[in-house]
Amino acid sequence: MTEQLVKASSLNILALDTCTESCSAALTDQSNTYSEQADAPREHSQRLLPMVQSVLAQAELKLKDVDLIAYGRGPGSFTGIRICSSITQGLALGQSIPVIGISTLATMAQAAIEAGAKQVLSAIDARMGEVYWGQFVSVDGVATLVNEEVVSAPEAIVLSLDESTAITACGTGFEAYPELLALAGGLNECVEAKFPDAKYMTVLARHGYTQGLSTDVDELAPVYLRDTVTWKKLPGKE
């Protein structure tokens, strides 16, 4: 086992996500994962820090004991991504903690994979008649992206997965566009993975750390897929 793998296995990882209607925080140490989650649209900025304090208390750790902060980098709600990014900056700057951005689509796929899925199509309702979507396969139990994450009209989704094998669907995109469940002769919906949950980010963060994907907080990089000009055309929308 390489030195990087050994170090990754011993990290205390704090994970945060506010990129969709769901708000969640989780902390994992070498043996346990502690998590908090709430479906609380428009309350993320009030909910997230108390969740962070709760998972730290459950683990009997202080923020200074955290080795890596995983943040939901998007895609998702423009406002939600900004909240997650700004709170991550605030937490990481004070203690000089490295950060790693985790895809919301990959987080949902990871939840489905931990429930037994081998192939996953994640899709989030992007409004304006579009969805954010990505395809994932399980590689040693880790959600691994196939091709790239995309924002498009739902009818523009083209699968690159093996359509002769079961494909699991997760995310609000399938609630908004139920016709997508007919792809590939019928997808298996994982309702438990409707939203990204920070407890599944920790696996992806640990794996990403071994690949050298963590950065200083100054290099924090949210992913919107849709540009900010488009968002400004939607008064009152997130």
| Structure confidence at residue 7 (pLDDT) | 77
* Domain count of the fold of the chain: 2
Q: Do 74 and 47 belong together in one domain?
A: yes
The pair of structure tokens assigned to 136 is: 């994932």
- The total number of residues written for the chain in this structure: 238
Q: Do 94 and 201 belong together in one domain?
A: yes
| Structure confidence at residue 236 (pLDDT) | 43
Q: Do 120 and 178 belong together in one domain?
A: yes
3-state secondary structure of 183: helix
Q: Do 214 and 113 belong together in one domain?
A: no
| Structure confidence at residue 203 (pLDDT) | 96
In a domain, 236, yes or no: no
In a domain, 164, yes or no: yes
Contact 35/54 with Cβ under 8 angstroms? no
Q: Do 86 and 114 belong together in one domain?
A: no
| Structure confidence at residue 40 (pLDDT) | 85
11/201 Cα distance (integer angstroms): 14
Q: Do 16 and 75 belong together in one domain?
A: yes
Backbone angles phi, psi at 107, to 5 degrees: -60, -45
In a domain, 100, yes or no: yes
Q: Do 46 and 159 belong together in one domain?
A: no
**Alpha-carbon distances of 115 from 34, 132, 170, 176, 224, rounded to whole Å:** 18, 22, 12, 23, 28
Q: What's the pTM value of the predicted model, to 2 decimals? A: 0.93
CATH code, domain with 94: 3.30.420.40
Q: Do 93 and 185 belong together in one domain?
A: no
- Helix %, strand %, coil % for the chain, to 5? 40, 30, 35
pLDDT block averages, 10 residues each, the chain of length 238: 66 97 96 94 92 98 97 96 97 96 98 98 97 98 98 97 98 98 97 96 97 96 76 42
103/70 Cα distance (integer angstroms): 10
Q: Do 124 and 225 belong together in one domain?
A: no
Q: Do 100 and 9 belong together in one domain?
A: yes
What is the rounded (10 degree) CA torsion for 181, 187, 192, 193? Answer: -80
In a domain, 237, yes or no: no
In terms of residue numbers, what domain contains 137? 106-193
Q: Do 55 and 118 belong together in one domain?
A: no
Q: Do 99 and 127 belong together in one domain?
A: no
**Alpha-carbon distances of 154 from 73, 76, 94, 115, 134, rounded to whole Å:** 22, 16, 42, 25, 12
